[in-house]
Amino acid sequence: MNPVALVVDDEPHICELLSMTLERMDISTRTCNDIASAKQALAKTQYDLCLTDMRLPDGDGLELVEWIQREVPGTPVAVITAHVSASNPYLARS
């Protein structure tokens, strides 16, 4: 059985691009557009990976990372973003 990734991004073209890329690597995907639907999906299904955008309509991607660490520990998660901010040490350029 192929690994399954959850892609969380409010921009449909980003979800499509990431899904196409992962599927070429034999990783099945499911997409969600916000934190609430991502939490529902993660509560129902075990994923091998979660990729989440930093900025989502209903919150911050780091909030989802913290929730995953508490509620579904062991699920690898990566935050992706096109927005860089010097005020966020996780995103500041060096």
Instruction: Give the pLDDT confidence score for residue 82 in this predicted structure.
Output: 73
Q: How far apart are CA 7 and CA 22, in angstroms?
A: 10
Per-residue pLDDT tens over the stretch 65-89 = 999 999 999 999 999 987 655 555 5
CA nearest neighbour of 49 among 37, 60, 41: 41
Helix-then-strand count for the chain, H and E: 3, 6
For the chain, the structural domain boundaries read 4-80
Which band of pLDDT confidence, cut at 50, 70 and 90, is reported for residue 22?
very high
Q: CATH classification of 4-80, choosing from 3.50.50.60, 3.40.50.150, 3.40.50.970, 3.40.50.2300?
A: 3.40.50.2300
Does the structure show a pLDDT above 50 at 63? yes
Give the C-alpha separation, 65 to 61, whole Å. Answer: 6
Task: Answer yes or no: is pLDDT of 90 > 60.
Answer: no
pLDDT at 6 over 70: yes
